[in-house]
Structure 1
């Protein structure tokens, strides 16, 4: 199976492409990324400036899902614990999940941040503990719900397995950076199958990036584009549009959506030139990157997407999303 333009299912594949353009002034670079949500629609052209922010900025990521109230045992009562923003509430939960004092005391938070809708509850920050962080207890959701809620995964927690015939990629989810995306992954775990989920594109690092994912000086930025790409759209399931939740940059091991999903990719290199253009919702544990590299070396055939040369797998690699029963010792 390749990329079949005549199939509606295949037509939903988003195309992740990078076209480097060399500038003449101040040695600046401008990069054009072409994303096509369907083969029948016009490509979306995005011009991105050179990235100037540092990787450390990503530590400031602290988001939740609006109109959602998570339940669970309270470790801080919101009636006595208030903040001005959901980010402050999230940070308070993170502070109780440093890993220095054993298991996380707080793994979920609930905040009421709309003064008119919340009334006397405005500013309440409830810090809670879930029985199962991969299946959090929901009290209510919908437009009438005034609460914003989020999850925090501590060391060794929030890890799911992307199982393939070549091995299992252990992925640490990032709910504080991409809460809507992580919710979708948790929904995939609930249906206990991922029929139709697979990798279909594979491009190695070539001579453009070293084994650590660092770009070689004066080399181009592709092709190849140093990634493996696939879809996480399970047959029979409905995908709600996932909003852009850009927080981390694309690093070696980053797992990110193409557009709003369900097309995704795992990066084999550090792509600072992509300037946080994609929603990163997880990261492959370093010791499992050899599996991703193995998939990238499988037999491919050339194709052209929007006039850019890509490599698609001769035989797609099916994958299954599954829970990891035990904590993974090397996870951050």
Structure 2
């Protein structure tokens, strides 16, 4: 026997209510996470959210590039004779020329033509190249006005390459960049590096590992996830420059030493601990070399003042620490 029409309506109505409640619950969770991370347009971080990321970033699993960009450089593989079906395959072909033990890669740039209609006979061409200066890659000049650039390009940094200095009065933090995982982010950092100054770049928040994480950044069982939240936070926006929001890129699990954007930037943080509780939220574009993390730890012990950002207790530096970006004077190992 079939149900009466009004019974069906009641069931459908109840199901709709349950669905709306589910959406509302998700919305509340998202709102809480955002509140945990935001102070006005800046974002703070705490360990009580469900934000985290997968894998370490900068690893062999990433193969991202920038569309509508043609990087130049000396060819080590000619694309007219070297073709693939995807940009990932082209990127991996470049990566295969990095053993990981022999220092710099024989290939540090890949350029792929992946638009079948626009590329025509060039479709699938994979050009592998080597830059004179991997921190200032050469770009091909644009074509005639109105003509679209249909290439996609990426960088690969081998062992001892792609490391820049974040200089502060308390010491230098050497950071390995991850262009294969966060190409847009790294392109922005290289633009800042070319300016040879970063007026306005600074650390303004500092929180130690407290009693929640050990010296290796591992969370102590049954301990709280903060406060303090084991990080130093700042901004990478040079005065006099126009900052454009960065797209979300690879979001691995935050590890001790991870350098990541907060939202689309230019606010960023360096993690002093492993934050598995933060999940897939932050674009990681680099990592501080382990031997330099004592500098970040020192900054985390500087005098601070308590503040509340969207109902989250944080500590901000009484005196912000200016930082500048520079090239390293000698090669460092990863």
TM-score of the superposition, structure 1-length normalised?
Answer: 0.84
1:230-245 matches, within 5 Å, as 230-245=234-249
Distance 1:41 1:296, change over 3 A: closer
Task: Show the counterpart of 1:254.
Answer: 258
Question: Is 1:313 equivalent to 2:317 in the alignment?
Answer: yes
Alpha-carbon separation, structure 1, partners of 2:155 and 2:238: 24
Q: How many angstroms does 1:84 deviate by?
A: 1.1
* 5+ long unaligned stretches in structure 1: 1-29
Q: Of residues 170, 177, 200 in structure 1, which corresponds to 2:174?
A: 170
Instruction: Indicate the residue corresponding to 2:106 in structure 1.
Output: 105
Q: Which has the larger radius of gyration?
A: 2
- Cα displacement (A) at 1:103: 3.1
The 3-state SS of whatever aligns with 1:182 is helix
Measure how far apart 1:33 and its partner are: 2.2
Equivalence for 2:129: 128
Residue pair 1:105, 1:129 contacting (<8 A) in 2 also: yes
- C-alpha separation between the residues in 1 aligned to 2:155 and 2:43? 37
C-alpha contact (below 8 Å) 1:37/1:259 kept by paired residues = no
Shift of 1:114: 1.1
Q: Tell me by how many angstroms 1:37 deviates.
A: 6.3
Aligned equivalent of 1:33: 33
The aligned runs of 1:1-332 (5 Å cut-off) are 32-34=32-34, 39=40, 59-140=60-141, 144-328=148-332, 330-331=333-334
Quick check: 150-159 or 97-106, which moved more? 97-106
Number of residue-to-residue matches in the alignment: 298
Give 1:59 deviation, angstroms. Answer: 3.3
Deviation (angstroms), 1:58: 5.2
Query: Secondary structure of 1:104's partner?
Result: coil
| Contact preservation (8 Å) 1:67, 1:141 | no
How far apart are 1:272 and its partner, in Å?
Answer: 1.1
User: Please, which runs of 5 or more residues in structure 2 have no aligned partner?
Assistant: 1-28
Q: Distance in 2 between matches of 1:264 and 1:285?
A: 17
- Cα deviation per residue 1:187-221 (whole Å; 9 max; x = unaligned)? 00111100011000000110111110011111121
Maintained 8 Å contact 2:39/2:310: no
Mapped contact 1:58–1:249 kept (Cα < 8 A): no
Q: Secondary structure at the match of 1:97?
A: coil
- When structure 1 is superposed on structure 2, of 99-108 and 278-287 the one drifting more is 99-108
Contact 2:53–2:280 (CA under 8 A) maintained in structure 1: no
**Residue 187 of structure 2: SS of its match in structure 1?**
helix
Name the CA distance, whole Å, in 2 between partners of 1:211 and 1:41.
28
Alpha carbons of structure 1 residues 54 and 67: separation in structure 2 relative to 1, 3 Å? closer
- In the alignment, the residues of structure 2 paired with residue 39 and residue 49 of structure 1 have an alpha-carbon distance, to the nearest angstrom, of 21
**Distance in 1 of aligned mates of 2:217 and 2:278:** 14
> Which structure has more helix as a fraction of its residues?
2
Deviation per residue, 1:209-243 (Å, 9 max, x gap): 11100111111211111100000010001112110
Q: 1:217 to 1:162 in 2, by over 3 A?
A: same
Give, in whole Å, the separation in 2 of the partners of 1:113 and 1:223. 48
Cα distance in 1, alignment partners of residues 127 and 41 from structure 2:
47
